[in-house]
Amino acid sequence: MENPIDSRLQKSTLRRSLLKTRQGLSPEVWQVRSQMLCDRLQASELFTRAQTILAYCSLRQEPDLSSLWRLPKTWGLPRCVGPSLQWHHWSMEGSLPLQRGAFGIQEPDPASPQLAADQVDLILVPCVACDRRGYRLGYGGGFYDRLLSSAPWQGKPAIGILFEFACLPELPIDPWDQPLQAICTESQLFFCNP
């Protein structure tokens, strides 16, 4: 088994490098790649079958999913509450305005209706990087690993969302890392083999 200190160092180095690359994208390239990714996602059966989908508000030039929010789906966005994510129903029309929350992320108003695991069909997970096995590199807070390992959320279809340059052959992993079922980039959507 890999030394946890080595794994954290490798992850930290990779994270810095990939975030620098992502933030170096011009606004035009970022928007074009984001739209290509959204188009690819909409063509997938996992997405078309899902009625209630959990997404995120783009931060640090993560792929922008906001073009999808006008589709006739029920959308949920996260709020960071302590070490956990709480999911709230959100729509472009009718919801309270988003507000800056923990880590500078746009979040739903705490008064917005919450979504429980049994209401959710699909989770779109932001990633700094992913590997072919579905293991994800995030920002290091462990929010999604805790969510996906908790009993109500285990087995929920989860797609890692990232740009193609951040899809790697293999990432260093720790025992608590939770693999995702699929990965979607602007170039491909594929199912993972952990």
pLDDT one-digit tens code per residue, 155-190: 899 999 999 999 999 998 888 889 999 999 999 999
For residue 1, the model assigns a pLDDT of: 44
Rounded to two decimals, the pTM is 0.92
Predicted confidence (pLDDT) at residue 8 exceeds the cutoff of 80: no
Question: Helix count (H) and strand count (E) of the chain?
Answer: 4, 12
Provide the β-strand partners of residue 100. 106
> Average pLDDT of the chain?
91
Cα–Cα distance measured from residue 79 to residue 120, given in angstroms and rounded to the nearest whole number: 16
Q: Each residue of 77-107: pLDDT tens digit?
A: 999 888 889 999 988 887 778 888 877 889 8
Q: What percent of the chain has pLDDT over 90?
A: 73
The Cα 14–Cα 173 span in angstroms is 12
> Strands, DSSP E only, in the chain?
52-54, 74-81, 84-90, 99-100, 106-107, 122-126, 129-131, 136-137, 158-161, 167-168, 182-184, 189-191
Name the least confident of 41-45, 104-108, 111-115.
Answer: 104-108
Give the pLDDT confidence score for residue 127 in this predicted structure.
96
Look at residue 5 and tell me whether its pLDDT is greater than 60.
no
Residue 140 binned pLDDT confidence (cut-offs 50, 70, 90): confident
- Residue 162: closest CA among 81, 50, 56: 56
The residues, ordered by sequence, that sit 6+ positions from 55 with a Cβ below 8 Å of its Cβ are 65, 68, 69, 75, 76, 77, 124
Token digits for 58?
């783009």
- For 41-61, what is the mean pLDDT? 95
Residue 3 has pLDDT above 80, yes or no: no
How far is residue 29's CA from residue 25's CA, in Å, rounded to a whole number?
Answer: 6
Q: What are phi and psi of 23, to 5 degrees?
A: -75, -10
The number of angstroms, rounded, from the C-alpha of 138 to the middle of its chain's C-alpha atoms is 9
Instruction: State percent of the chain over pLDDT 70.
Output: 96
Stretch 58-69: mean pLDDT: 94
**Number of structural domains found in the chain:** 1
For 22, the domain range is: 4-191
CATH of the domain at 78: 3.40.50.10420
